[in-house]
Amino acid sequence: MKRLELTPAFRRQMLFLALLAGVLVGILLPTIYSRGLSEELHQEAELHARAVAARLQHRVSVQPELWAYDLDGLDNAVAPLLLHVSDARIQVEYDEDKLLYAAGDTPENGVTGWAVIRISDQAVARVGVTLSDAPIRTKMNRAWLLSGGLGVGLSISLFLLPLIKVQRSDRANQALWNALEASKEELESRVEARTIALRELGDRLVRVQEEERARISRDLHDELGQTLTGLRLRLSTAELVMDESSPAREHLLVGMNAIDSGIEQVRAIAHHLRPPELDSLGLRNALVSHAENWSAQAGLELGLNCQAVNPDIEISEALFRTAQEALTNVARHARATRVQVSLETTDDVIRMSIEDDGIGMAKAADDRLGLIGIRERLRKCNGQLILESGDLGGVKLSAVVPLMSDREEQG
């Protein structure tokens, strides 16, 4: 998971918005204001033009033919405006823009308003009044400066103030992220330490279990087995000296048979706890012996393909216990008629496979089969347990363990 930093993307977006707001305030507002001032000046010029045209309209009505030649009358019509507005220019035009009369100085930059003079609803002339735009130009320049300053200030404020807030949030998020990463590392360290501790505990439990099995096996064989054997010898001696017609002879024979059965049971239990073949004959013979005894008891056909291998005692114990658990599960759950047991060395690994022709196994069945301890034994040897569908139609269990050289390299 990667931390998302807001500042770069926010900076790009806010820069555009801030510039847009600055342009709107710095250009659009003074433009609208300037157009308003120009419109007011134009309306004022038209108002003056209509006033002059109204005064001339009376003379036109009285002298419709001669009014245009009456210069005194024209001067008297425009005089009030020239007295009121000194920098105005008044002009009278007739007959398609032909200048008839002009008074006042022409402004360098001005706005002109027009008014029409009519006779019998027919336009005969028009009056134009041009006013200087110097007063409004000053206002417009001030407006442009003020709006430009406001636009720049607004752009900077809109860009910097939110950006500062976002940067603070990013710094706070970074601090939280650092704390989260530190907590994550601490948690991973604790999990790793606990995992190591659990593995060490599992290894210790497996080792203690094997040691306890070996001790119990020795005790059963050496103590209880020898005791029963000694008792059997004494009863055999008593049988020799006992009269064949004695009524106790039958009970003696029953007791001797019971002792023989007990000795066999002790040997079987000791063999199951710690097969002596592992120490004396090796993994192959111990596996073959156990598989044959199991086949005879379970009444299933057995196929053996076991090569001679010579792993260390830890690997031998892990593979033998795996075979015990697998064969027990076949007898309990598989409903099989045939089992194939294989043991071979390939590619610097030891592979043991146990395959049946039973009903197969559900996806989650391996947890119900009690193979968790077997997985732990194999993991201790850097091996793995594989459960899959076999060629016989049932389940194929494979235990793959590297040889000693490979384990030393991995260690």
Q: Are residues 166 and 34 in the same domain?
A: yes
Which pLDDT score is estimated for 407?
A: 46
Q: Are residues 11 and 157 in the same domain?
A: yes
List, for the chain, all residue ranges whose pLDDT scores fall below the cut of 50.
363-369, 405-411
| Count of positions (residues) in the chain | 411
Place of tokens 């907590």: 183
Q: Is residue 223 included in any domain, yes or no?
A: no
Nearest Cα to 127, choosing from 84, 77, 73?
77
Q: Are residues 183 and 305 in the same domain?
A: no
Q: Are residues 185 and 291 in the same domain?
A: no
Which pLDDT score is estimated for 370?
A: 57
Give the CATH number of the domain where residue 403 resides.
3.30.565.10
Q: How would you write the chain as a 3-class SS string?
A: CCCCCCHHHHHHHHHHHHHHHHHHHHHHHHHHHHHHHHHHHHHHHHHHHHHHHHHHHHHHHHCCCCHHHCHHHHHHHHHHHHHHCCCCEEEEEECCCEEEEEECCCCCCEEEEEEEEEECCEEEEEEEEEEECHHHHHHHHHHHHHHHHHHHHHHHHHHHHHHHHHHHHHHHHHHHHHHHHHHHHHHHHHHHHHHHHHHHHHHHHHHHHHHHHHHHHHHHHHHHHHHHHHHHHHHHHHHHHCCCCCCHHHHHHHHHHHHHHHHHHHHHHHHHHCCHHHHHCCHHHHHHHHHHHHHHHHCCEEEEEECCCCCCHHHHHHHHHHHHHHHHHHHHHHCCCEEEEEEEEECCEEEEEEEECCCCCCCCHHHHCCCHHHHHHHHHCCCEEEEEECCCCCEEEEEEEECHHHHHHHC
State the pTM of this model: 0.42
Q: Is residue 348 included in any domain, yes or no?
A: yes
Which pLDDT score is estimated for 367?
A: 45
Computed on alpha carbons and rounded to an integer, the radius of gyration of the chain in Å comes to 58
- Considering 143, 176, 192, which residue would you say is the last residue of a domain? 192
Q: Is residue 299 included in any domain, yes or no?
A: yes
Q: Are residues 13 and 113 in the same domain?
A: yes
Which pLDDT score is estimated for 411?
A: 45
- Considering 130, 165, 192, which residue would you say is the last residue of a domain? 192
Q: Are residues 149 and 3 in the same domain?
A: yes
Which pLDDT score is estimated for 47?
A: 92
Q: Is residue 209 included in any domain, yes or no?
A: no
Q: Is residue 235 included in any domain, yes or no?
A: no
**Cβ atoms < 10 Å from Cβ of 181:** 11
Which pLDDT score is estimated for 301?
A: 93
Q: Are residues 170 and 299 in the same domain?
A: no
Place of tokens 């759950």: 333
Which pLDDT score is estimated for 339?
A: 95
* Amino acid residing at 245: S
Q: Are residues 27 and 154 in the same domain?
A: yes
Q: Which two tokens stand for residue 71?
A: 């210069």
Q: Is residue 405 included in any domain, yes or no?
A: yes
Which pLDDT score is estimated for 270?
A: 61
- Considering 143, 167, 192, which residue would you say is the last residue of a domain? 192
Q: Is residue 271 included in any domain, yes or no?
A: no
Q: Are residues 179 and 285 in the same domain?
A: no
Domain range spanning residue 153?
Answer: 1-192
Per the structure, the count of domains in the chain is 2
Q: Is residue 249 included in any domain, yes or no?
A: no
